[in-house]
Structure 1
């Protein structure tokens, strides 16, 4: 499967310049927990004890074991509480971040460590431990964009009895354009347009393969990387023949250079093991790499033609990713010279197998029926929304649902779920101390503001983050044919994510709800599970996107099923709508007291009831833009409560509005007859789980399905 725009795009990439004036950096290389500086592979690692001129460390301890053969792994920085390294960055760009871990024997049991690693914007490692580490030391490598200013690497133990540690840290700038901002987007089903804004993602190295060659160690690599042999990844070893012709790569201006990959990678490779005695040699060489399931990966393929003389049509072959995508490789069309290295980049979404297979094979339009490959690099796009890590044992506030019951007898006009703050459990303060809520004006936050806000919110469930690449794959790049609804927030698409049907709600520029609502919906729906509520599968805040992914409702919304069939005598309004209008008419006529539940009659102060009714009226306005945000609703209800607390002429045993509020949900729901709302089952409060306390704005979901809000 070939597409011309992929070839043109890839050829354009090949001519991207890597800065010619790049020189190997001298910072930051940290020998953690040591007072000594050491030189290793042309790098000077600075001991971090009393050497804080270029970086700083928060409270932590250090431990040593001088019996280790490598001097870099004789010391470690550790602590049983969070600690961080802080670096002053003086140049914008893409940086390498390497973390070295070696749990050596000491008075502190480093091997039992369990911890998270994060930056000020991204979670890098979650619940990292050494229980499955067969090879030590462990080096974790990342590529990330860092701006001028303070850059923090934070280590957070997972649990009260655990600890975090690190032996060495490297933070240094990469050459310009080392990571391209765009790349062809490929799924297991084939090609799918272009993936953009790659430089805004954190990339974690998964595989760095020297195809056909031996292991390349940091002392032999231009950027101190480690490349391993491809032998263990070959699907059928007899299909490939390794080569080393002794021809060094010809790095030329405008093409790949020694920092993209060292000469040792381009000097060796695998080619098809052609046997003239065979009846046919039409086969592929296949490699299979273990990767994370259903995740986006940045994949780079390295080529250097040292096999055949450059002339038209002599050598062409195919590169396959999975089985449904192929890219024509024509070395002569790229550079008409021998031994000039080049590479192709792709963003590839892995399938559910946890394996990524790539192949090379001959083409019928090639004079020479062979194929070759020199190197493969695979990075995973890291999927953590922020550096604020939710630690084990974090406190959950109690779930308090306040039912706005302003109907008479057995009817309910509106149910408002309010996540009340702990003040509900304390005696109310005088009315005069209540501060007005700040009205949120954000109607579409900037990328940096959104990242900062998400990063500083400890109640965001990190595990629900979905990469934008997965969103594109689930919706076939937001195919208009999959559009199923739209509202003030943007559009809703039907999609398929991890073998399940989902509804993908994507915000659009100018939408009427903002970051606060987006966060509120994530926090609330990730903690509430109920048979009448659609389940939140995940969210995406990559790039400039705010996307929510829900379980798909096959039979449409509850509102849809409350409409009477066409031709019936009932109007197009549902019974709930009629009840709402009936309640609002009493509110506007100042007769809200006439429809209060009889069990509460005479127990609510007029001023409190009036405030309560006004709040309900605002919540029932026609459009989402006219309705108040959740923090305003919460404030209004708090104010109504305080009016109730400070009302005069009440008996001592009756002055307990908090208790009344807490009992309202059970009281109102138990009195709700089954025929009052068509199609609804019993909403048992016990079916809703606790969720953390939040101070959130209105929920993000104003959904229009088939023309209905």
Structure 2
């Protein structure tokens, strides 16, 4: 029995108890998964592990096989650089105690370790303390301070139990000095082991964290410059995780002891491994087991419509101290997209409203995501975390989830003072002189400022739940400025103009949302109606899509492709501005509330327009452009129902002339994704053809590409419809509003076209040019039941020979043209075409 068959049977029959064979296979598969994860664990550039006070190397435990190196050697990347210390060995160690804790380094005077650093950046530093008695020393009576590169991390520290202290901070030099300083002459310090290793580059980001307080929500900057001390690391809804389960060798503990009302929470568990590719987190942010368990609202003993919060209290020490709170989310409770909307609160203040995880994770369930918040501990010396249903939650789907919590104290480092009188005198003298110079400088600056015209300050954006997009590399601006120079300067729109157009991003002007962010209706100074797409924080897809959209749309022009009005990247914002599409996405006109029930002729004309746009994308340049996310929400309609293909954030250049495909990671939307692309990760323009085939069936049947609420055989539209097509009775499943409208020949040609688009292998699918020919022919057959004056032709694609098409080809487009004529639609002046894939829908990737 294969692993894949076993898991399939387990998912198909969740209530059936597994057999002995199944149990054995499950254990073996989980063990194999652990070994795979361990073998592909993070490999830090700096990885310095010290077994203090020992003359031998040793591993921590049997499951943590990392080797801690003896500190007795005077060579290597770690050395004792100064002070007096002795080695201590526990003669009566506990049988359950790790070997690493059987020795210690004792410091009788201020003494330090020197660590050679290969790569600057964020590092994790851990100190292991396990007190014991030996050779006249009782380590539980030690009292000392620890300074790292002169910054005081621990003051007057002592412990009578085993303690692990972990810090995260940035190292900006090629050396790291850790100083152990006894508090007085009669005292001493000690340590059993030290870990210093590099963290992943995006482990702590400068931008993106939100400061949550009574004053609302503000952007918190330069987070990576702070020293962070780990206080709590919680696996919500799960069991204890030891370092073996974590690529950064962390320990996660259960949340039971922190729940305020245990009966309010109910555990959620999944056997599905989280999809890291679609989320905003990595295994280094949190391991799989954290995202595979959660706490959700316990509604078993409550009425269906009742709303309540789940609350945790985490003690952190004295009140008023600032902390970084990292919350981990992974939607393992929903059965379909856009089911779960909930709110997040910290210390009773709103931190995130109407959180919809699926809109931030390429619209893929079970995708890990995390958010960073900055809060001050409350008067009781605790940080309170609460989650509860959003006001927009459906009464049938009221729920909220949380998968993990990390709380880190923001240490305020203080530098070691030199108490010598000589230095004190010089400090006083320098301060006096400096004060005089400073006063003089201030006086000069004031005079200069009075001579200058005072500039008005930009209006501050106040929007609950919003922080500027996290930017790679810690810059306050996106990398567009680094790669484009002057190429796209003409498209730049000042942030003040965007604010004015949207009435400072007034919530009443929100017309939709997608994976990139919220969309606002606006009016520019010249009275042009626009759709303003504003990047959402925490969306890892944001920066690449922002760049791709600008790059693609600034170089192509076509009546059936959207046009970019401009973009803005000021104040850490990523904003794309398009002309407003009056009728919105095609999907809105096919099914759902307010559906307009388009006629068959209208639907054909819309499909033909979209096909023209895609054909131009594929053939308008040497390599062509592959859209990669064709779906009914990415086909927009203007006031005359003219179709335009939109949202080029996932677009890729096609293969070179001597290549057949582009090798790339799989991206797209469920229900529309080319199965061959998914299997082989080889992208061609035929992947767009497959997605377009699904759209054709949406247009014909007026139902979503995937509907998990239907019977199993009907969930996937493409599979279900093709069963009827191959039986020759496709008319049995068409939109009831089309009954009696479609002529048989037109329906037959349309069905054949969709079937060819959905062939399992790309080589068997037609080109978009062939698809366009056949759709135009289907329209001719609809308008006239007699034989068309445009006779069918032999398809140029040998593998799609059954697709009969008219002889006259549409005019071949040329890239970068300002105007062009499309056969069948008359002149097509280049207007600022309306754009955006999710103007009036919550659907995204």
Structure 1 residues 293 and 396, CA gap change in structure 2 (3 angstroms)? farther
Match of 2:809 in 1: none
Residue 178 of structure 2 is matched in structure 1 by 153
**Aligned residue among 256, 281, 294 for 2:306:** 281
Tell me by how many angstroms 1:487 deviates: 10
SS in 1 for 2:257: helix
Asked if residue 128 in structure 1 is aligned to residue 157 in structure 2, the reply is yes
2:404 is matched with which residue? 375
Among 182, 197, 201, the alignment partner of 1:176 is: 201
- Indicate the residue corresponding to 2:717 in structure 1: none
TM-score (norm. length: structure 2): 0.44
SS at match of 2:352: strand
- Alignment of 1:119 with 2:139, yes or no, is no
What is the aligned partner in structure 1 of residue 123 from structure 2? Answer: 95
CA offset at residue 121 of structure 1?
3.7
How far the C-alpha of 1:264 sits from its partner, in A, is: 1.1
Tell me the residue number matched to 1:76.
104
Deviation at 1:489, TM superposition (A): 5.8
Q: Which residue of 2 aligns with 1:141?
A: 166
Distance change in 2, residues 1:360/1:443 (3 Å): farther
Verify the 8 A CA contact 2:235 2:405 in the aligned structure 1.
yes
Contact in 1 for aligned 2:142/2:188 (Cα 8 Å):
yes
Shift of 1:346: 1.0
Shift of 1:419: 10
Where do residues 145-294 of structure 1 align in structure 2 (5 Å cutoff)? 145-252=170-277, 255-275=280-300, 278=303, 280-291=305-316, 292-294=318-320
Cα shift readout 1:9-55 (whole Å, capped 9, x = no counterpart): xxxxxxxxxxx995245620000000111123131100111253112
1:19-38 mapped onto 2 (5 Å cutoff):
23-24=43-44, 27-38=47-58
3-state SS in 1 of match to 2:204: coil
Say if 2:144 and 2:187, in contact at 8 Å, map to a contact too.
yes
Structure 1 position 182, deviation (Å): 2.3
Match of 2:79 among 47, 50, 56: 56
Residue number in structure 2 paired with 1:334: 360
| Closer, same or farther: CA 441–277 of 1 in aligned 2, 3 Å | closer
Alignment of 1:465-480 (within 5 A): none
Residues 616-635 of structure 1 mapped to structure 2, 5 A cutoff? none
Residues 1:349 and 2:376 are matched in the alignment: yes
Give 2:332's aligned residue: 306
Q: How does 1:530-541 map to 2 (within 5 A)?
A: none
Structure-2 separation of matches of 1:226 and 1:321:
24
- C-alpha distance 180-277 of structure 1, shift in aligned 2 (>3 A): closer
Q: Is the CA contact 2:124–2:167 (under 8 Å) kept in the aligned structure 1?
A: yes
**Contact 2:59 2:100 (8 Å CA) reproduced:** no
Q: Deviations over 1:547-590 (max 9, x none)?
A: xxxxxxxxxxxxxxxxxxxxxxxxxxxxxxxxxxxxxxxxxxxx
Gaps spanning 5+ residues in structure 1: where? 1-19, 401-417, 422-435, 445-485, 491-506, 512-542, 544-709
What do the CA deviations read for 1:194-251 (whole angstroms, capped 9, x no partner)?
A: 1111111110001111101111111221111111111111000100011222222111
2: distance between equivalents of 1:177 and 1:420?
42
Give 1:67's aligned residue: 92
Q: Contact (CA 8 Å) 1:117, 1:126: kept in 2 or not?
A: yes
Asked if structure 1 preserves the Cα contact closer than 8 Å seen for 2:46 and 2:196, the reply is no
Q: CA RMSD in A?
A: 3.4
Q: What residue is the counterpart of 2:464 in the other structure? A: none
- What pairs up with 1:361-372 in 2 under 5 angstroms? 361-367=388-394, 368-372=397-401
Pair 1:187–1:343, CA change in 2 (3 A): closer
Structure 1 counterpart SS, 2:276:
coil
The 2-side partners of 1:247 and 1:232 are apart by 27
Q: What is the CA distance between 1:352 and its match in structure 2?
A: 2.7
Alpha-carbon distance, 1:254 to partner? 6.5
Bigger relative contact order, structure 1 or 2 (CA pairs below 8 A, ≥6 apart): 1
Deviation of 1:191 after TM superposition, in Å, equals 2.3
Whole-angstrom distance in 1 between the partners of 2:193 and 2:114: 14
With over 3 angstroms needed to count, the CA separation of the structure-2 counterparts of 1:74 and 1:21, relative to structure 1, is closer
Higher fraction of helix: 2
Give the Cα separation in 2 of the matches to 1:442 and 1:116: 37
Deviation, structure 1 residue 320: 0.8
Cα distance change on mapping 1:22 and 1:50 into 2, 3 Å: closer
Taking a change above 3 Å as real, the CA distance of residues 256 and 115 of structure 1, as seen in their structure-2 partners, is same
Measure, in 1, the Cα distance between the counterparts of 2:427 and 2:54.
48
**Residue 56 (structure 1) shift:** 1.4
For the residue of structure 2 that corresponds to 1:28, the secondary structure is strand
Equivalent pairs, count: 394
Whether contact under 8 Å (1:96, 1:173) holds in the other structure is: yes
Structure 2, unpaired ranges of 5+: 1-39, 450-473, 475-845
1:73 aligned counterpart, secondary structure: helix
Aligned to 1:586: none
- Structure 1 residue 45 and structure 2 residue 68: aligned? yes
Are 2:45 and 2:118, in contact at CA under 8 Å, matched by a contact in 1?
no
Q: Secondary structure at the match of 1:238?
A: helix
1:185–1:191 Cα contact (<8 Å) kept: no
Query: 1:21, 1:224 → 2: CA distance?
Result: 10
- Please list the CA deviations of residues 468-522 of structure 1 after superposition, one character each: whole Å capped at 9, or x if unmatched: xxxxxxxxxxxxxxxxxx99669xxxxxxxxxxxxxxxx99x99xxxxxxxxxxx
Contact preservation (8 Å) 1:187, 1:350: no
Q: Deviations over 1:343-364 (max 9, x none)?
A: 1111112233211111000123
* 3-state DSSP of counterpart to 1:103: coil
Would you say the 8 A contact 1:210–1:230 is kept in 2?
yes
Q: Deviations over 1:90-132 (max 9, x none)?
A: 11110000000111121212111000001114110001011xx
Q: Which residue does the alignment assign to 1:85?
A: 113
1:109 equivalent to 2:138? Answer: yes
TM-score by length of 1: 0.52
SS of 2:413's equivalent?
coil
- Answer yes or no: is the 8 Å Cα contact 2:229–2:409 preserved in 1: yes
- Supply the distance in 1 between the matched residues of 2:211 and 2:233 (Cα, whole angstroms): 20
CA contact (8 A) 1:210 1:374 kept: yes
